A and B are shown apart, each in its own frame.
Chain A
């Protein structure tokens, strides 16, 4: 069953840059889909169109068989609750504790007064502690999140998005600002969430070695167009040159 269908998606920015030029693909439930491509190929724009942080210019996005392309603001908030997202720069709330950051994942369900005052129900707090345990940060709940290492901050971001009980997790270059060892640790947490909790993951990545290790399906973008759709181990030398250009040399991350 397809959880997400993208049909002929076009995104042209107000300054005239056309980031996506008619992209179509389908994502099966439970898949670990990786999007590859050079910087500027439209990967980030594509992810941000899926949860409508950016509004697509034309085309269709079907989430769970429901067209969300023209969803109103209220509907959009409801849809976003089901779509988690993590970022290259983690985007945690500065100066707040790990627990507060994880709890902020439930803000979509909160009314304004409780949200402003930061009043969370007891079971929500327990849930948050459990999510912190899943990403292996038990004991750090009351430390300032922005003082943790990069890998730990990304795990806080993962715990935050787990609070949404998402059906899809969007990961925008989740390891691009981490060192190789930490990268694997973060990828393994994403794999765990994908396999054990059954969350569909859509992830932008740069390193093909990571793609081969973690992805169950791959799409490749080049200049805003989809140039490859298939399995990770089918990307051979020829495909690599088609996606990254003739001058590109593959680097690995161990």
Chain B
């Protein structure tokens, strides 16, 4: 079983390297930019080569990273890494990956330092540093819209997350029926958390139309998921002592939770919630850019019109808002932790 696993790991590593060499390294050496399209045939050829190499590696002592991973080699500690062949396979993989990264992200020092480019950047930077204060009140209004949007998203997320967190806490969900509910809720949360708020915003801007409401909904979904996770981890961390004490006085289950668990949670919950609001203000700005309203939306509009002095004003306000929120939330949270 372990040998099969080791062979699969080897095959995947070699296949990756073969693909990278054929698709990236060889065209790079030939100075050709027209990479032909990938197809099932090409994959088949790659696979055959990789399988052959893997089979060969199987017979070379200490050549297989897969066997190392599955701990099939008995290692002598003190053996220097550079005499073990699988180290070289690892190093080659890393180097090939870095080269591919450079090629794919089209890193070009020539363009970064080109005369034209630098002049363009200078123009924009100059404009950004001379913001247009005539639109100050307009920008502030949009910023306030964003802050309130984040606030309401956080506010509506709190009760939902609070309720869900008890069902998502391992230590409270012990019976088999409870475990099923726990797994279901955890899975839903993981799914909704792995969808970026930006994507939610796009979905909701189609659903309820472009504007702050769509942005608010996107933030709320994401906040529920992440607050529930943070809250439930806090519940899993509680001291069981007060719970025992409340059971011992004969309190009903709801009161045991209310007096034995909830008081331990208030401060950490508040602290997480404030932090979440802080994050939501930043996110609301980004979300505004895809139609979530507020200051992000304004930034996109001015940028589209190439009005750089106005863009400068918007960026200045965003920076101040983010800084103030960050500062205030840090202060509040440190006050709560005492």
A-side residues, CB < 8 A to B, are 51, 53, 76-81, 83-85, 87, 89-96, 104-108, 110, 112, 115-116, 157, 160-161, 163-164, 170
Complex alpha-carbon distance, A112 and B251, angstroms: 9
Q: How far is the CB of A47 from chain B (nearest CB, A)?
A: 10
Q: Which residue of A lies closest to B248 (CB)?
A: A85
The answer to the question of B259 belonging to the interface, with a C-beta cut-off of 8 Å to chain A, is: yes
Question: B242 to A115, Cβ gap below 8 A?
Answer: no
Q: How far is the CB of A78 from chain B (nearest CB, A)?
A: 7
The answer to the question of B68 belonging to the interface, with a C-beta cut-off of 8 Å to chain A, is: no
Residues of B within 8 A of A164 (CB): 249-250
Question: A95 to B250, Cβ gap below 8 A?
Answer: no
Q: How far is the CB of B145 from chain A (nearest CB, A)?
A: 36
Q: Interface 1/0s, chain B 238-253, versus A by CB < 8 A?
A: 0101101111111110
Residues of A within 8 A of B250 (CB): 76-81, 107-108, 164
Binds A, one of B99-107, B161-169, B262-270, B299-307: B262-270
Complex alpha-carbon distance, A157 and B266, angstroms: 22
Chain B interface SS verdict (over half): helix
Complex alpha-carbon distance, A157 and B248, angstroms: 12
Report how many residues on chain B are interfacial, defined by Cβ distance under 8 Å.
21
Question: A94 to B263, Cβ gap below 8 A?
Answer: yes
Question: B258 to A80, Cβ gap below 8 A?
Answer: no
Residues of B within 8 A of A170 (CB): 248
Question: B245 to A108, Cβ gap below 8 A?
Answer: no
Question: A108 to B242, Cβ gap below 8 A?
Answer: no
Complex alpha-carbon distance, A163 and B245, angstroms: 13
The answer to the question of B121 belonging to the interface, with a C-beta cut-off of 8 Å to chain A, is: no
Residues of B within 8 A of A161 (CB): 249
**Given known A-B contacts A53-B244, A87-B244, A91-B242, A107 and B251 have beta carbons under 8 A apart:** yes
**Given known A-B contacts A87-B244, A91-B242, A107 and B259 have beta carbons under 8 A apart:** yes
Residues of A within 8 A of B254 (CB): 112, 115-116
The answer to the question of B98 belonging to the interface, with a C-beta cut-off of 8 Å to chain A, is: no
The answer to the question of B144 belonging to the interface, with a C-beta cut-off of 8 Å to chain A, is: no
Q: Which residue of A lies closest to B250 (CB)?
A: A108
6 inter-chain pairs at a CB distance below 8 angstroms, sorted by A residue, are A89-B239, A93-B242, A94-B242, A108-B249, A116-B255, A157-B245
The answer to the question of B260 belonging to the interface, with a C-beta cut-off of 8 Å to chain A, is: yes
- Extra contacts, 18 of them, besides A89-B239, A93-B260, A104-B246 (Cβ < 8 A), are A51-B248, A53-B244, A77-B251, A79-B250, A80-B248, A84-B248, A87-B244, A92-B245, A93-B263, A104-B251, A104-B259, A106-B249, A107-B246, A107-B255, A107-B259, A108-B250, A115-B255, A160-B245
Residues of A within 8 A of B264 (CB): 94
Residues of A within 8 A of B252 (CB): 77, 112, 115
Question: A80 to B249, Cβ gap below 8 A?
Answer: yes
Complex alpha-carbon distance, A89 and B264, angstroms: 15
Q: How far is the CB of B176 from chain A (nearest CB, A)?
A: 14
Q: How far is the CB of A166 from chain B (nearest CB, A)?
A: 9
Q: Which residue of B lies closest to A109 (CB)?
A: B250
Complex alpha-carbon distance, A79 and B250, angstroms: 8
Question: A87 to B249, Cβ gap below 8 A?
Answer: no
Q: How far is the CB of B306 from chain A (nearest CB, A)?
A: 55
**Given known A-B contacts A89-B241, A112-B255, A116-B255, A95 and B248 have beta carbons under 8 A apart:** no
Q: Which residue of A lies closest to B245 (CB)?
A: A91
Complex alpha-carbon distance, A66 and B250, angstroms: 17
Q: Which residue of B lies closest to A92 (CB)?
A: B242
Question: B258 to A116, Cβ gap below 8 A?
Answer: yes
Among B241, B251, B255, which residue has its beta carbon within 8 angstroms of that of A91? B241
Residues of B within 8 A of A87 (CB): 241, 244-245
Q: Interface 1/0s, chain B 188-209, versus A by CB < 8 A?
A: 0000000000000000000000
Question: B249 to A91, Cβ gap below 8 A?
Answer: no
Complex alpha-carbon distance, A236 and B62, angstroms: 68
Question: B267 to A108, Cβ gap below 8 A?
Answer: no
Residues of B within 8 A of A106 (CB): 249
Question: B263 to A83, Cβ gap below 8 A?
Answer: no
Residues of A within 8 A of B258 (CB): 115-116
Q: How far is the CB of B186 from chain A (nearest CB, A)?
A: 23
**Given known A-B contacts A96-B263, A112-B252, A80 and B247 have beta carbons under 8 A apart:** yes
Residues of A within 8 A of B263 (CB): 93-96
Complex alpha-carbon distance, A207 and B252, angstroms: 36
Complex alpha-carbon distance, A75 and B244, angstroms: 18
Complex alpha-carbon distance, A170 and B250, angstroms: 14
**Given known A-B contacts A81-B250, A108-B250, A164-B249, A95 and B259 have beta carbons under 8 A apart:** no
